[in-house]
Amino acid sequence: MKIKIEWEFDLGFKDHPDYMQFHNKFADEQGVPLVVDMCDYLKDPESASSDQITDALSDEHGWLINDWYVIEAC
C-alpha cells in the first residue's frame, strides 16, 4: 500500500497558496519521503489503524504527520 504524506513541518506559513511547494521542497532537502510503501514499515498495512501508520512513519523519519492518503493499494 503506497501512501502520500503531508508532514507536519513548522514552516510558519500554512495558509500561503504555495505552501505545498514549500513543504515538498523542505521534505526533499531533509531527505524525508513524500510517498512511501507501507509494506516496508508494517507487516499488514491494509489492516493497520491510522494511528499505527502515523506512529510507524513518525518513529522512522522523526517528523509528525499532518495527513496522508492511499495512492496505491497492495
- Give 11-67 pLDDT, tens digit per residue: 888 888 999 999 999 999 999 999 999 999 999 999 999 999 999 999 999 999 999
Structure confidence at residue 13 (pLDDT): 82
pTM, rounded to two decimals: 0.85
Check whether 74 has a pLDDT greater than 80: no
Domain that residue 49 falls in: 2-72
Count of other CB atoms within 10 angstroms of residue 6: 16
Number of folded domains in the chain?
A: 1
Structure confidence at residue 46 (pLDDT): 92
Please give, one letter per residue, the 3-state secondary structure of the chain: CEEEEEECCCCCCCCCCCHHHHHHHHHHHHCCCCEEEHHHCCCCHHHCCHHHHHHHHHHHHCCCEEEEEEEECC
